[in-house]
Amino acid sequence: MMRIVVDAMGSDNRPQPDVKGAIDAAKQFKDDEIILVGPQDVVAATIAKHGAQPDNLRVVHAGEIIQMSDKPSTVGKDKPESSMHVGLGLVKSGDADAFVTAGNTGAAHAIAMLFSLRRIPNVKRPALALIFPIHEKPVIFLDVGANAEARADWLAQYAIMGSVYASNALGLRSPKVGLVSNGEEEGKGTAVIQEAGRLIKQLPLDFVGNIEPADIHGGLVDVVVADGFTGNILIKTFESATRYLGEVIRKEIKASFISSIGGLLARGAFQRVRQKVNADEIGGAPLLGVNGVVIIAHGSSDAKSIKNAIGQARIAVQGQVVQSITDKMQAFNRIQQEN
Amino acid sequence: MMRIVVDAMGSDNRPQPDVKGAIDAAKQFKDDEIILVGPQDVVAATIAKHGAQPDNLRVVHAGEIIQMSDKPSTVGKDKPESSMHVGLGLVKSGDADAFVTAGNTGAAHAIAMLFSLRRIPNVKRPALALIFPIHEKPVIFLDVGANAEARADWLAQYAIMGSVYASNALGLRSPKVGLVSNGEEEGKGTAVIQEAGRLIKQLPLDFVGNIEPADIHGGLVDVVVADGFTGNILIKTFESATRYLGEVIRKEIKASFISSIGGLLARGAFQRVRQKVNADEIGGAPLLGVNGVVIIAHGSSDAKSIKNAIGQARIAVQGQVVQSITDKMQAFNRIQQEN
């Protein structure tokens, strides 16, 4: 039996998608317990809208609400009764196994790091990992924004954490790891990237070396490592490029009568394309390196995305991701000290 | 009358596209002189394949050929008779107004900087600028790879050079400048990006602040500033994301009979989309900051792209881009010294 905490006040449209997602998860994963954290009255009223409360769904009160505009640097101190504090606290105390939120990423990161779970021993910095499906296969991409800048040894740790997640949670055997750079040759990249490449090469990982964006879509790797600045820009460029291309296609199809008919006939195909390229299907991004399972879903999540994020949390718990990262980090620390 | 030098031995399929592009440009721009630089016999034979040599097309001999695999750090010394040395030399000596090549970018950069044109006074580092059409309007994006790392004052200089090119060559009045970061808020980004933002704010430019990838496609800005590492990855992600989406669409359309018919009917629309998103239409990337007009076309350029790159070189000469950057850099230098 697993116990998954869900932040009822996370998403942009809270508490509706968060609560509905939790209810749907409770119905699907009957052996598990889903714990909704948020203002008791608000959460109860929202649950009531969806019929009888499932037996394996429980509400834990948390009076304060974190806004998307709240500053990560101060919100930890300012709102000690928030659903993030209470929810992450349940994981820390051992009363729950994982925490899922669609709220302010920076706040979740700061509260987890400074007020509750803290880091896995030897981890320098946590990384936010995005999982997205490329050609039917998941690729894990980190860091997408937990830390804008990264030192070379942090990047090496991202490679380890990403590999653990890929094998333990995504079921990829001996995952291939690539380091994002502005060219595949070894001499390419900033000084930090070059140093990170040298470090990762020494680790017991299947490291393919520097990769370029086309390699990600080409299925060359399972784990993509980048600093948070580059990673964040890369995924946002991917999103905005596909959205832009979609707009241009829509416009051009509408520009003639014949092609409009064509567009209508191909509507099913376009729908399948949207589903494939839509990141919501994946549900959430694990925050790797904190001492407990934390999954951060997109602010715009609907109930289905929240349910998927809960599913992802279950898989991370089942795969013992945190324990495995703990072990690997001990080994990494030994290698570092020997050098 | 303008005199544009074209590297006959630049592109992946040289000398065919390079020579044909030069011939087509000579025919179109009858008042100008086009100077093809490369091995005399090879170039002459290629010209002969396309009929009579236009009167305004001239060949200048250069015996050595630079490969894409040649190292920028050594090629300048190793091949002093290359078409890049000779071609850039013509611009330096005042015998020509601009140089166009589809060859090794790093080599062109190194040879221009160390062996011929050198920098415009006060310019810290040149930047490679890409021009791409978004929603029918050109956007200039720099640096896309001249220097992987950039200091804050280099980025500020990129902003100035990009603005000059946007107004003088692209005809955009009071171009809006944005700085790529992992979030629009002022506190976002690496330490260098934050410092660059403060510097650019003090300049007499229309600076909109930090921008994200979606803002580029959203038409918010005319000049996009990034360090060469980030810029290179951003444009490669854009290319690979649109190619990936194109593949997924093709596959899904073929997956059913009805949608295949739809795809056939919409074929014209897809062709127009490809044209719009295809960077070849633009032709080349100016290398801004070197003391002369240098346009670098894609290695995969066809004759049309080469001709377009020559057209771009003409516009840069006409717009007195180099003189204008020289003046602005003097002013920037004064501001820097006063601070």
**Cβ–Cβ below 8 Å for A256 and B269:** yes
Residue B137 in contact with partner chain A when CB distance is under 8 A? no
Query: Between chains, do B269 and A252 touch, taking CB under 8 Å as contact?
Result: yes
The answer, for A136 touching chain B at a CB cutoff of 8 Å, is no
Residue B210: helix, strand or coil by DSSP? Answer: strand
Q: What tens digit of pLDDT does each residue of A218-254 get?
A: 788 999 999 999 999 999 998 888 888 888 899 999 9
Residue A306 has pLDDT above 70, yes or no: yes
**Three-state DSSP state, A244:** helix
The total of structural domains in chain B comes to 2
**Is B105 in the same domain as B165?**
no
Tell me, yes or no, whether B323 lies in a domain: yes
- Say whether both A261 and A300 belong to one domain: no
The DSSP element (H or E) to which B98 belongs, if any, is: strand B98-101
Residue at B332 is within a domain: no
Nearest to B266 among A190, A234, A253 (CB): A253
pLDDT in tens, A248-277: 899 999 999 999 999 999 988 888 888 777
Is the CB of A214 less than 8 angstroms away from the CB of B239?
A: yes
Residue A105 C-alpha, separation from nearest chain B C-alpha, in angstroms: 13
| Nearest CB partner across the interface for B237, out of A189, A234, A253 | A234
For residue A38, give the DSSP letter. E
Q: pLDDT tens digit string along A161-215?
A: 999 999 999 999 899 999 999 988 777 899 999 999 999 999 999 999 999 999 9
Within an 8 Å CB–CB cutoff, is residue A225 touching chain B? Answer: no
At B277 the pLDDT is 75
For chain B, give the mean pLDDT: 92
**pLDDT for res B331:** 87
- The SS3 call for residue A57 is strand
Angle at CA of residue A28, ends A14 and A26, nearest 5°: 50
Q: What is the CATH number of the domain that holds A237?
A: 3.40.718.10
Flag whether B202 is in a domain. Answer: yes
Identify the residue among A128, A245, A271, A277 best suited for mutation to test binding to B, counting B beta carbons within 10 A and taking the highest.
Answer: A245
Among A230, A245, A269, beta carbon nearest to B255:
A269
Q: Give the mean model confidence (pLDDT) for residues A267-295.
A: 84
Residue A215 CA to chain centroid, in angstroms? 21
Under 8 Å between Cβ of B224 and B139: yes
pLDDT in tens, A83-92: 999 999 999 9
- Does B136 lie in the same domain as B4? no
What pLDDT does residue A239 have? 86
Q: What gap in Å lies between CA B330 and CA B175, rounded to an integer?
A: 20
* DSSP 8-state symbol, A290: B
pLDDT for residue A206: 96
Cβ count within 10 A of residue A216: 24
Mark whether A167 and A217 lie in a shared domain.
yes
- Residue carrying structure tokens 């630079």: B66
The CA distance from B82 to B88, in Å, is 10
Residue of B73, B104, B139, B237 to mutate, testing the A interface (most A Cβ within 10 Å of its Cβ): B237
CB-based contact A190 B148, cutoff 8 Å: yes
The answer to whether residue A265 neighbours chain B at the CB level (below 8 Å) is yes
Q: Is the ipTM of this complex over 0.85?
A: yes
A134/chain B closest Cα distance in angstroms? 9
State how far the Cα of A1 lies from the Cα of A33, in Å rounded to an integer: 7
- Strand A293-296 versus strand A223-225 pairing type: unpaired
Nearest CA in chain A to B252: A269
**Distance separating alpha carbons of residues A31 and B73, to the nearest angstrom:** 63
Together in a domain, B306 and B216: no
Would you state the pLDDT for residue B281? Answer: 56
Partner A, chain B 67-106, Cβ-Cβ below 8 Å:
none
Evaluate whether residue A337 is within a structural domain.
Answer: no
Same-domain check for residues A278 and A298:
no
Q: How far is A39 from chain B (nearest CA, A)?
A: 30
- Same domain as A239, residue A109: no
Kindly identify which residue of chain A lies nearest to residue B229, measuring between CA atoms. Answer: A182
> Same structural domain for residues A15 and A95?
yes
Residue B158 CA to residue B174 CA, distance in Å, equals: 16
Residue B188, pLDDT score: 85
Structural domain for A270, as ranges: 127-283
- Domain membership of residue B339 (yes or no) is no
Residue at A336 is within a domain: no
B114 inside 8 A of chain A by CB = no
Can you give the pLDDT at residue A184? 82
Rounded CA gap, B151 and B141, in Å? 17
- The verdict on A11 and A107 lying in the same domain is yes
pLDDT for residue B184: 82
| Among the partner residues A249, A264, A267, nearest to B273 by beta-carbon distance | A249
Q: Do residue A237 and residue B234 have CB atoms under 8 angstroms apart?
A: yes
Chain B nearest-CA distance from A260, in A, is 7
pLDDT of residue B108: 95
Contacts (Cβ under 8 Å, ≥6 apart) of B136:
none
CB pairs under 8 A between A and B: 185
Question: Same structural domain for residues B182 and B295?
Answer: no
Residue B135: predicted pLDDT = 67
Quick check: B47 and B19 in contact, CB under 8 A? yes
* CB-CB under 8 Å, A248 with B270: no
Pair A325, A294: CB distance under 8 Å: no
Does residue B95 form part of some domain? Answer: yes
Q: Please answer whether residues B161 and B122 qualify as being in contact, where contact means their C-beta atoms are separated by less than 8 angstroms.
A: no
The CA angle B28-B32-B33, to the nearest 5 degrees, is: 110
- Per-residue pLDDT of A94-148, as tens digits, reads 999 999 999 999 999 999 999 999 999 999 999 999 988 776 788 999 999 899 9
Is the residue at B167 inside a domain?
Answer: yes
Cα–Cα separations (whole angstroms), residue A234 to A333, B77, B237: 30, 37, 7
C-beta of residue B149 within 8 angstroms of C-beta of residue B112: no
Judging by beta carbons within 10 Å of its beta carbon (0-12, 13-18, 19+), is residue A40 exposed, middle or buried? middle
The predicted structure's pLDDT at residue A281: 56
Question: Which residues of chain B make contact with A245, given a CB cutoff of 8 A?
Answer: 241-242, 245-246, 273, 277
Interval B249-301: pLDDT, tens: 999 999 999 999 999 999 988 888 887 776 555 678 999 999 999 999 989 89
Q: What are phi and psi of A206, to 5 degrees?
A: -90, 80
CA gap A334, A327 in Å, rounded: 11
pTM of this prediction?
0.90
Amino acid at B73: S
DSSP state, B189?
S
Examine the domain organization and report whether B115 and B136 are in the same domain. Answer: no
Confidence of residue A72 (pLDDT cuts 50, 70, 90): confident
What is the amino acid identity at position A7?
A: D
Helices B303-318 and B321-338 pack at an angle, to 10 degrees, of 60
Q: Which residues contact A274 (CB under 8 A, 6 or more apart)?
A: none
* Residue ranges for chain B with pLDDT beneath 50: none
State whether A112 and A132 are in the same domain: no
